Amino acid sequence: MSEFTFQWPGMLGLLLGVPALFWLLRRARIKRRLARQQWGQAESRPVGEKREFLWIASFAILVIALARPSYDPVRHSISNTGRDVVFVLDVSRSMLAQDAYPSRLESAKQGIADCLDRFESEQVGLVIYAGSASISCPLTADYDFVRYMLSQVQPRSVEFGGSFLLSAVEKVTDQVLAAERAGFQDVVVLTDGEDHAPSLDQVVERVRESGVELLVVGIGDPQLGATIPVESEDGSPASLRHEGETVYTTQEQEALQGLAKACPGGEYVNVGTDPYQLGEIYQDFAQGKASSALDGDAGYTVYREGAFFLMPLAFVLVVLAHPTFGRGAFRNLGLALLFGLGSAGNDLSGEDQEFSYEAAAASYAEGRYEDAAMAFAGLLPAESKLPARAALSFNLGLSQLKYAEGLRDAAPRDALAYALEARESFLQAARENPQLLRAKQRLGQLVEVIGELEAIVAEEAEKERQENDALEALLERIEALLVAQQELRSANAAEDPLRGAGARSRKGASAEAAMEPANGKQRSRELSEAQGASREEGERIQKLMRELNALLLERANSDPTATAAETLLSRPLVLMQQAIDGQETAEALFAEWKNWPEARERQVTVEQRLQEILDLFASSESEEGEDGDWEDYEDFEMGEEGEGMPSSMGMEGEFRADAHMQALPLPNYSPEEILSEEMGSQQFRQEQRAKANAGEVEKDW
């Protein structure tokens, strides 16, 4: 290993520009000398040549610095001499059966953890499967990371329920294991053997083609069936049922034995429901098998940077070469040395970060919490040190919490969204720095804040539901009123056909058309009374509209962001008044037989106004459906990586959605509890997708 090297040797090609730079400087010096001679000035040759050499030297030193000269290498080796081991874990719901303690799945997870404790140089991967497969952890020598990913595994960790081992084996052979390592690879399958695929022949074929060696660990009682515990709709414990019958699951011992026997080098171990040591089982399985180091000596080398010593020298030469050297030269030299030496020990980006941090802190102090949150969030990606990241995350959470408190009365839904983001920020801070007790205390405060905001949002949602129900009932009454008006007009037109629509324009209308029928007065009184009853119903509807409009106005006036106190009922109220005026006029006209045609015209106007009201509500509902209404917010809250999370379902971990229903003490969370909460929130969306897909699987266990 070379003690000295250039990490960016390609930059040295810039040194080819030194001759060109020397020629340009010499040509410029000659032209300056000729110009002085023409003007009769004395020649200053020595000073000009010295400056040229200083400029060229500073350029050459900067180029060498850009090539990153490095020395004193330190080699960090990460070589590996073990085998590649991939654990394939069945996470179907049948693994919840409790014939093994505490369940088949937990027994399998404990077995893998025991195996990890015995590994030293193996590379380990983790693949989980049910109806589909997912790579939880690629091959790695970081056993702590494997343990962390293993702790997150649970049913519904994959998108589809069921049990299909083939999908997991395909993931392992195609995406996890490398073909060049064939012969040094083991696959350990932990399952109860219940597979809903047509057969295991394809699994055997894939194992043979890849050259891996298969260890099958059967978990569960192969004789007595066990029920699968589930949670009923009311939250009480129950057993899984299929087509009206309780599902009993057993370990498919014969199928697993056949699978292991058909695979070259395969081995089947039945642990049943008894405690077992998977570490010892795997050591016996791997006994005598070849192990090989990875190709080459994997690792990395760290050099000391030499450019930091060259930069100050280059700046000194630039100062000396400047024409003003001699007038304030020592001041310029001091500034150059200060800048150059400072650059050797400090990252310039740190100064920008300090300035940005100060700007964020100033925004927070001035009460501009939204700006402060944006500033702290912008600083996070550039910070790599965990204590500093924890501080930024904590400050981000404080800004989000303060902004949420400011929105509490005006926009509780937005306040709830920011409070949830603040909780994620405090969780991040506590995870990155477990000693940051203030973050844990803020988490306890947020439980109460989020609970109160959820209660306010739920109250608003209930009010909106009641208002929507009232609107629905109102629309039904308006529709009924419209039908009654149409029937009244049609009945009257049938009684008076000669003076119907267009009758007065027909030529030769008979004189009898203008004669009042014998029961004309009685029918006029009946029609007037019927129209009066319709008018009274219109006035009752108008009263309900005004009451509902008053509630909407109260809400609009309480919103400081509202620009105008106009509600959904503002225009319909105007139209309803016009309809009532038309009804009142028609009622008076029906009192005399001669005015029946004009009364029917007023009825047409009333029907038009009522139809306009219905059309207005129909268009409003269409616009809400297109743009998205509050229901979208109630169904989804913000989650990790920009995805929605159904809010109607209980949160996992210690922060449940019903936490505001009980008084909680100030929590003192341990790092394990914080990680547990984070795991729950990360897996929640995956579980909901799996539940949504359950209907597409015939046997979802």
What is the per-residue pLDDT across 590-608, written as a single tens digit (0 to 9) for each? 888 888 888 888 889 999 9
Unique residue bearing structure tokens 């720095």: 433
pLDDT in tens, 317-329: 877 776 555 444 4
pLDDT at 95 over 60: yes
- Please name the residues in contact with 208: beta carbons below 8 A apart, sequence gap of 6 or more: 263, 264
How many C-beta neighbours within 10 Å does residue 422 have? Answer: 27
Phi, psi of 197 (to 5 degrees): -75, 160
- Please name the residues in contact with 438: beta carbons below 8 A apart, sequence gap of 6 or more: 394
- Please name the residues in contact with 104: beta carbons below 8 A apart, sequence gap of 6 or more: 94, 95, 96, 97, 98, 192, 219, 220
Region 171-180 average pLDDT: 88
- What is the distance between the alpha carbons of residues 151 and 68, in angstroms, rounded to a whole number? 44
Q: In sequence order, which ranges of 433-569 are alpha helices (DSSP H)? A: 437-495, 520-558
| 153 vs 439, residue with greater confidence | 153
Mean pLDDT, the chain, integer:
76
| 326 vs 237, residue with greater confidence | 237
Question: In the beta sheet, which residues pair with residue 231?
Answer: 237
pLDDT at 493 over 60: yes
Give the pLDDT confidence score for residue 22 in this predicted structure.
Answer: 84
Region 164-181 average pLDDT: 87
Q: Where are the domains of the chain?
A: 4-77+302-341, 84-286, 348-435, 461-496+519-557+564-632
The pTM for the full model equals 0.39
Give the pLDDT confidence score for residue 369 in this predicted structure.
Answer: 87
pLDDT in tens, 282-307: 999 988 887 765 444 555 677 788 88
* CA–centroid distance for 325 within its chain: 60
CATH architecture of 84-286: 3-Layer(aba) Sandwich (3.40)
pLDDT at 244 over 70: yes
Lowest-pLDDT range of 257-261, 508-512, 677-681, 687-691: 508-512
- What is the distance between the alpha carbons of residues 117 and 278, in angstroms, rounded to a whole number? 10
**384 in helix, strand or coil?**
coil
pLDDT at 88 over 70: yes
Question: In the beta sheet, which residues pair with residue 5?
Answer: 70
pLDDT at 122 over 60: yes
Confidence of residue 339 (pLDDT cuts 50, 70, 90): very low
Give the pLDDT confidence score for residue 261 in this predicted structure.
Answer: 92
Confidence of residue 675 (pLDDT cuts 50, 70, 90): low
Lowest-pLDDT range of 78-87, 567-576, 655-664: 655-664
Confidence of residue 625 (pLDDT cuts 50, 70, 90): very low
Region 39-52 average pLDDT: 60
Unique residue bearing structure tokens 């009142």: 584
**Helix H or strand E segment including 238:** strand 237-239
Q: Are 129 and 162 in contact (CB under 8 A)?
A: no
State the sign of the Cα–Cα–Cα–Cα dihedral 590, 593, 599, 603.
Answer: positive
Confidence of residue 657 (pLDDT cuts 50, 70, 90): very low
Confidence of residue 9 (pLDDT cuts 50, 70, 90): confident
CATH of domain 461-496+519-557+564-632: 1.20.120
| 185 vs 322, residue with greater confidence | 185
- What is the distance between the alpha carbons of residues 394 and 382, in angstroms, rounded to a whole number? 16
- What is the distance between the alpha carbons of residues 192 and 173, in angstroms, rounded to a whole number? 22
Q: In sequence order, which ranges of 263-347 are alpha helices (DSSP H)? A: 278-286, 307-321, 329-345
61-88 burial string, b = 16+ CB within 10 Å, else e?
bbbbbbbbbbeeeeeeeeebebbbbbbb
Give the pLDDT confidence score for residue 672 in this predicted structure.
Answer: 52
